[in-house]
Amino acid sequence: MKTSYKIIVIIGMPIIVIVGIILIGPVMWMITVNAYSSFIISTTPDSVFEEEFAKISEVNFFIEKYPNYYTSHSGDFLGWKIIYYTALVDDHKSINLEVKKSILHQGVRISAGCNEGDYSYGYTIPQDQVMDYLKNEECLRK
């Protein structure tokens, strides 16, 4: 093999490997992490998440204030377990609380909203204002 080809191979191969690691590595990492978090979400009973979420002050307040609440559960492709809490306040109004927890970094996000008659004020309350919102008896309108 000629020297010029050896130089191209010696310099080119590491560059190809490094570029491959930089481009393909994060994609493979995301696939692995998603598979792990999806596995955790699918194998953990919803009751475990409900017990854990009930320790969050906003959720605890919601449960105590609205004992007739019901929940629905889901997960998303980024590894967040989501529980939707809904309580009927009267025939035309319901209060909603959405709690998301990351399976990977354990972060929690909380948002709230309201349905009143034909109007929906969904999940527009910032997390730092959720407790004040829950203490209020009225749907907040933007």
DSSP designation for 136: -
Asked if residues 75 and 82 have their Cβ atoms less than 8 Å apart, the reply is yes
Question: Are 82 and 99 within 8 A, CB to CB?
Answer: yes
Per-residue pLDDT of the chain (142 residues; tens, 9 = 90+): 566 667 777 777 788 888 778 878 887 877 777 777 778 788 888 889 899 999 999 999 999 999 999 999 988 767 889 999 999 887 778 888 899 988 888 889 998 888 877 766 555 677 888 888 888 767 665 5
Q: For residue 20, what are the contacts with CB-CB under 8 A and spacing of at least 6?
A: none
Report yes or no on whether pTM surpasses 0.75: no
| Per-residue confidence (pLDDT) for residue 59, from 0 to 100 | 93
Q: What is the DSSP string of 86-133?
A: EEEEETTEEEEEEEEEETTT--EEEEEEEEETTEEEEEEE-GGGHHHH
Whole-angstrom distance, CA of residue 109 vs CA of residue 88: 23
pLDDT of residue 122: 58
CA atoms within 13 A on the CB side of 11: 6
